[in-house]
Structure formats: structure tokens, C-alpha cells
Amino acid sequence: MFETLILILDATLRVSTPLILAALAGLFAERSGIVDIGLEGKILGAAFAAAAAAAVFGSAWIGLLFAIIASVALALIHGFACITHRGDHIVSGVAINTIVAGLTVTLGLDWFSQGGQTPALTGDARFTSITFPFADALADVPVIGLIYSELLSGHNILVYLAFAIVPLAVWIIYKTRFGLRLRAVGENPHAVDTAGISVAFIRYRAMIICGILCGLAGAYLSTAHNAGFLKDMSAGKGYIALAALIFGKWRPVPVMFACLLFGFLDAVAVRMQGVQVPGIGEVPVQAIEVLPYVLTVLLLAGFIGKAVAPKAVGRPYVKERG
């Protein structure tokens, strides 16, 4: 039983990683006042770029670099539409999602002729697990051994990076000048403008950070969690991340826990496949897979208290007044 729990938690970490990265990406965007429904598209685009570059160059790191470039480019397009041209954030985000969904498959077909997939990645073209020192030696120690060798050890670098970024995000947002301005610009851009700071510049920087984080999430999906790009492989993670963002009230640590909760449900769903539950029998896998979504709806419907979004989020900043 204990071992099962550890294995579920272990899977939770792996499933939560892209959610955490994407949710933090959304956090930076929304804290600056930009609604980013295009997280999904950025993750998908980055996943494709990572897999394609990794397949061509044979290096996961080069794949990661291309993932970040692609994702930042998409983030800047969103920024250009929303910040410079004061467009509707939702429309721009949906446009990005749609374009990327089609473009990845089309380019994949053209470049690799494998039905829209990228070639299967092997060796250095993937991020592989890092085994902590003495993991094998400690594996047999009761409780601690299992936690150390199974739960903590044996993940790839991007998993550790995602969890390391959480405290980093906290530090940036609450302890630095950029963080103060970022929070201010999402609440009251007029206050920032009158203080002599460029609203647009802060928002663009936030979008670049958003792009980098989505790039990590996408690369994780195609070059670490899986071994190649699959059509629509982001599978709604961008939207779940947005839900986690609201659930976590736009604060990094609660957002991380929200992602872990969604990841946990996902891991349970996998684990429950074919398992006989006493008194119920085999639970249809669909019933469990739907849980994260049901949970999101229920939680957002009012079980988490009032989630107050940054006040200026989604509203184009127009300087001319009266």
C-alpha cells in the first residue's frame, strides 16, 4: 500500500511538471495584466520545436533552446496584439492555439513524413533520468529508502527545474523591483504610467518570461516525458494550468499545489485502470480521467473562496484619458 502511494506520488511529480511550468507562465502573464489563453498553443508549439530540433541535431538541449525560441516568439506575437495594438486578449490567444495546432502537424508532415509526428527520440536527444547518489544502495532502507530512491531520485532535469522555479518566482515577484512593477501593472497600469514607468515594456518582459516557461513545459512533454512529438500532445494542459492559476489565486506556491493536486488525480486515474474497487467493481477509466475537470469546475464554482484576479487583467491599457 505504501509502495503504491509512493509510486502514485512519483507519477504525480512527473505529470505535474508541465502544469507547474505552464501555470507559472500564466502567472507572469496575468500578473502583468495579460490574459493568456494561448498557453496551450505555446506548449504545443514548443513541444514540436523541441522534438523537431532534437531529432535533427540529436541533442535534447538544442531541442530545449528551439522550444524556448518558438514559445517566446508566440508570446511576443500575443504581446504585439494585446499590448501594442490593444487587441482582445482572448481572441489573440485562441488564434495562437488554432494556428499552432494546425501548423505543428502540417510542418511535421512536410519535414518528417511520419503522419505529423516527429521521429522517435533516443539517447542524447531526450532528457534522461538523473539518479541521486546512493539511490540504489538506500533503496532497501524502509520508508526513507523508498522515498529517496523512488520519489525524489530518478527524474529528469526539467522536473527538478520546474520545482526550483517556484521559489525563484516567489522571489522575483515579491522581492525584486521588477516583481513590484509587475504586480502593480496588473492592478493599476495608470499608477505605473504616472510613476514614469513604461507599461508596455513591463508587459513585454512578462510575456518573454511566460514564453520561456511555456518553452520548458513543451520541451518536457516531447523530449523528456515522451520520446517525440504527437499531434495535440499538449492535451489541454494549458487550460488546466489556467484553472490551477485561478485555484492558486495567482500566487506561485498555492499555484504549485493546485498543479500537484491536478497531477495527483491524473496519476490516480492511470493507476486505477483495471483495478477492482471493493463494492463497486472496476471503475471505468473515463470516470477517473474526468475527475480533474470536474474538480476544476467544482472548485471554481465557489469552493475555494473568492479568487480575485489582478484588477486590470484583460484590459488593454489606453493612456489617453478624458
Long-range CB pairs of 177-182, under 8 A, 24+ apart, other chains included: 178/202, 178/205, 182/28, 182/31, 182/32, 182/206
Please name the residues in contact with 90: beta carbons below 8 A apart, sequence gap of 6 or more. Answer: 35, 37, 314
Question: In terms of residues, how long is the chain?
Answer: 322
| Three-state SS at 155 | strand
**Least distance (Å) from another protein to the CB of residue 241?**
24
How many positions of this chain bind another protein (CB under 8 A)? 25
**Least distance (Å) from another protein to the CB of residue 229?**
38
The residues in 157-216 that bind another protein, with binding defined as CB under 8 A, are 174-181, 183-184, 187-188, 190-197
Return the number of the residue (73 or 309) whose C-beta is nearest another protein.
309
Return the number of the residue (301 or 321) whose C-beta is nearest another protein.
321
**Least distance (Å) from another protein to the CB of residue 203?**
15
Look at strands 281-282 and 276-277 and give their pairing. antiparallel
Q: How many angstroms separate the CA atoms of 170 and 185, rounded?
A: 17
Return the number of the residue (114 or 188) whose C-beta is nearest another protein.
188
According to the binding rule CB under 8 A, does residue 254 interact with another protein? no
Q: Return the number of other C-beta atoms located less than 10 Å from residue 137's C-beta.
A: 10
Return the number of the residue (132 or 171) whose C-beta is nearest another protein.
171
Return the number of the residue (39 or 202) whose C-beta is nearest another protein.
202
Reading the block at residue 280, the C-alpha cell is 463497486
Return the number of the residue (33 or 211) whose C-beta is nearest another protein.
33
Please name the residues in contact with 61: beta carbons below 8 A apart, sequence gap of 6 or more. Answer: none
Spatial CA neighbour of 59 closest among 8, 156, 123, 125: 125
Return the number of the residue (3 or 177) whose C-beta is nearest another protein.
177
**Least distance (Å) from another protein to the CB of residue 202?**
11
Q: How many angstroms separate the CA atoms of 197 and 204, rounded?
A: 13
**Least distance (Å) from another protein to the CB of residue 118?**
40
Stretch that binds another protein, among 102-110, 210-218, 241-249, 313-321 (CB under 8 A): 313-321
Which residue from 131, 164, 201, 311 is in contact with another protein, where contact means CB under 8 A? 311
**Least distance (Å) from another protein to the CB of residue 76?**
23
Return the number of the residue (180 or 294) whose C-beta is nearest another protein.
180
The residues in 49-108 that bind another protein, with binding defined as CB under 8 A, are none
Q: How many angstroms separate the CA atoms of 59 and 49, rounded?
A: 12
**CB crowding 226-255: b at 16 or more within 10 Å, else e:** bbbbbeebbeebbbbbbbbbbbbebbbeeb
**Least distance (Å) from another protein to the CB of residue 157?**
28
Q: How many angstroms separate the CA atoms of 25 and 79, rounded?
A: 14
**Least distance (Å) from another protein to the CB of residue 176?**
6
Give the CA diameter of the chain: 72
Site for another protein, rule CB under 8 A: 174-181, 183-184, 187-188, 190-197, 311, 319-322
